Structure 1
């Protein structure tokens, strides 16, 4: 199956990318392989082409363009983007894929989706693990040297202008993956669904950690195997792999989210929900691992769905027969089911199939879009019925009301955040003032040459003290300096208030997004897309 990967680079040496593509590199250290004379070893087989570089070398052309537009001059700037299309190893034998054909497909893909960028396209006949998968590297300068038309994945006017930089957004990656799938479908190559993630998401770093760990383990086990001793461990597992296994084992035993959290805590793992996403913190880490980095099986929707299944299975086995309708037992059972039921993720926007077909989407995408739209039409109708919004005027009023509520919640949250920032700034100024004040008082007691010597030795404190005086005149004019403990208490109270305000904001945002989506879907059901609706009104 073809896969698609993206890597951004801040390396200002554009020649390093070409060197990696044309010379052998160690698969673990990524350092170039040298022969017995200390010279680089060229790769045995590859295809290489440059685009929009004129007669110049890729690295020289990129650096000349950067200087011309004054871009990519800072250390933190993303200098280049590296995209990799890896084809299924079976495509060579089953579907006639060759290195030359893959190179042609890569050049075509680059010209279509990265116009106006200087690029280098290189195809290798094999991967790191010698699996025989032909793969294409596309490296582009992040700077655009020509104005281009607005492409489907672009969402800002600057994305088309000359002298601006390429942005690899989530929407862009979704679009590129769909185009890779369409390309494989067109060329009769093997392909999987790249748009719906994977149950176990293994990053590039984890992949190499597993490879290096397995190599080290095999090396450590070799003496024992030679002596006829069976090693205790023969397969290396990364920390993320162990975490996935622990979570799966816990999910098999839990039926509610609270029980799931408690069981994980017994294993030393804490689970936290923030903004509708789950993250897991292990004892040996200070930063939690998000569910997105583990895989789709570990996100909030999948976890709650599995917990609901476990709860229903347990309820079917242990549900008592009520003595009479509306019994307390039945009430408690319904309440329990309501608590464990996962929250709905809300409506999704319908797809404009005509526009997508005009963009060149294939039959497979159109078939998916048709099924998706049917599901969303039913979900939209149910949502409007449940909320009494079948009347379009009521729906418009509800959308406007939710927009105002969202704006008020946002402004309230920003106000609290600004107050917290002001309090923290005041706390720092007061702390600096009280820390440097003894130095100033000591200086006033000195006389003669000792005064100047003392000043030079503590000049930094004098500068900080004078700066704090100027700031205090603005932050606390004519007031008694507050105690640090009092400021800490006020900041803690404001943080609690901010958390409550954020929950209000998140609820208002979710409600507004759901209503706005319902309105867009309703307009598309009745009159087509909003843009076509306006066109029809103008024609009448």
Structure 2
């Protein structure tokens, strides 16, 4: 289906909706913010940022990250940059045309991502879209059934000499970059988005009938709940549930009324063939519901609250009553987690916590190494291209006896050429690799990174739950030295 062109007002707003039959994520929204009527510049900026930083939606500010600005003074810093821009350039825009900041909203499918991961992806989206030239904050909200992030970046650059150019297809560029990052992280995207004026949250509702993939996930969950002895027994349960199973290199399920079957591995996450085998062997724990699930070990465990410390910070009796109830619930959740995972022995819990941390750190290191090499390849490709493009100019410059006049006329090309040669010397390259070889290496590293990320998210959630359970156990058993003396004496 051909994508329709947005009318000017929607193109600027950058609202995209979903395509029927497709996934409902990751949706994006791009909007420039002008000065609100009857408000000052600072009040407008503060109002926008305060909405994003709402502690009730961001877990008391835990789900907020910032780039080149302080969270507490971001509004004042944005304003200061605009004043510096006026002093440096002498340009002053009319009130109606003055864009103060830009807002990007990025929403994800329920159960597919954690709030912490969404914040990290939002930060990466902002950094890559602004190329690191604009200060920004990323606030992730988890108050709705779908996790979503609000990104606010200053329209003025960090050096206060330029403003962001809201080009014709800004919103489309944001959406494409968001899709790229989501694919790199193994998340689903909207394949053929269309413009819509509807609220972005309504795209993710439960009113639409479930897709064949969603029905298949629910059927897999139902089959696994019957505790099949092995993978073949699981396939037999799927056939009993009305699914035609095609065995072979790739397992394929065809449900009632479905013309084309669904390959198991296209479901991703907890529903690939390997993930299902792990779930049968109790090597992977999943909380499922309505066909959507997220990877974690049995139950979600949260840290106990240090009530005495909070009271000393000024919290009142109402908070104390709530915190005591919260701690009671979390103590119960911790016990359930330990029992379901066979870790009622403290030594085993301690050992598994250390092992999970080591495994997570090893995966993180591998991903960082792949990302570093990918960046080096991108830089090398750029230098090779610049070297080839400016080679003839530099030869002429050398034949001209390094003429100052010639250099002044071609300074840009000469600087690019010299920068490329310097990079080659730093890398001690005797022979330049071909662009095709570098592209192949980059593609292999990207594939490896995607594969590593599948285990990375599982390892991180496992580590988080184990460390949280251990910390709670230490506090409950009064092992932790961080417990206040007043609490120990009670």
TM-score for the superposition, normalised by structure 2: 0.44
TM-score for the superposition, normalised by structure 1: 0.41
